[in-house]
Chains A and B, each alone.
Chain A
Amino acid sequence: MQQSWHAPDRLLVGSVSIGLAGLVLLPIVLVVLGAFVPTDRLGLGLEAGEPLVANAEALRYLWRNYGEWLLFSGRVALITIGIALVTAVPAGYVLVQRPFFGSRLLEELVLLPLSLPGIAVSIALLAAYPSERGLTLVVAGHLLYTLPFMLRVVTASLRTRDVAELEAAARTLGASFGQRMLWIVLPQLRQALVVGALLVFAVSWGEFNVSYLLNSGHPQTFPAALYNTYANESLQRSCAATALFLLGLVPALLAIQWFESPDRTVR
């Protein structure tokens, strides 16, 4: 069957799409290149006849000075993933299978932070818990912005796979609550949980608006390290820092794409 675009102008759609993709990709490519190349070569240094000497000096420097911050970011992300899994999965189950009076409100509240400016949220958290500044508050802030993703992935999965019916069948076969959770519900959620964890990681890894103020002292989350390098360090080092950041982020995003259902073309 011939697939109709229904777009007013195919050329327009195609060119804008490709253009945007290029716009997105180009700076990233440059950054990665820039990490290995001394500063003033940015641009096209080849013609000048001087060889481009790639070096990893910037990377080494960064690892020495900001390695701890990388690990800190990782730690925050892992803790956030853990808490998100433990809170969102049971809640998602209840919201889908046994909705109750306030369940819509709960879902809305979970989604709320996504529409709120991060800095305002961090000021609010600081107003409420000024003494908890540090890892605790950073995780709290990250949770607010990652729970919606985890919850949404869980509820979407439960709804599309009609887990309600599978559970009903399991009940008639005699399965207790625990048996149903372990043998029926959680296996159905396997893919959703992986995608959820990756999403939480990706969001947490790149979170800056909320994290910066909520932390106290060093180490900060890695995006804050980026801020430092941009403000104070050479271009090469800044590029290197960004490249490191991407190294943590891009695999996660690619994995998410990989796990999602393959082709969602609508005819």
Chain B
Amino acid sequence: MRIKVNKKILAKNEDFAAANRKFFQKNNILCINMISSPGSGKTTILEKTAKALKNKVNMAIIEGDLYTKLDAERILATGVKAVQIETKGSCHLTAEQITNTLHKLDTSRLDIIVIENVGNLVCPSDFDLGEEIRTVVLSTAEGDDKCKKYPNSFAQADVLLINKIDLVKHLDFDIKKVKRDARKLNKDLKIFEISAKTTAGMDKWFKWLIKTKR
């Protein structure tokens, strides 16, 4: 017996994502989903962002990792709220995990929530978390061919942070080529060139965050 179903396989995730989105809109919270390979510098970017903006913006960070609470501890040390999700082996965060985490977080008066996804440039892209802005981080040490190799992540992003630009002088990394490749996939992509370590270029990212929050 053949049954025509035509139902979305990720319907459950989409339902949770829609509920999260509604929650963020109702509470005037800008939610950013940050995606990248492991080691691109997401946590350092967020540490520096937390330190620079904590007296101007009410922020909270949701950290996603397979194991450990190390990243949340780094953010908490800056004085900004952070909650860790340990996925216990799963390669991406789901919208349901975010819903459950929002219950643990004091979200009153929050302006911005950044979700640092599990380090992985493929899988997290398939799972809408209810975010308003999707940010991809690409660090120069990863190589300048990543937009071509992982087009899905770049095509679905709103913002690209090219991190570790202080290392470019030691590497064969062509920033212009990366920007060109990224914009082929996504002509509206907002791109920032930064070094979280030296804070070069970070002021533009901070200004953009402040401008974009509701």
| A in complex with B | no
Chain A interface (Cβ < 8 Å from any Cβ of B): none
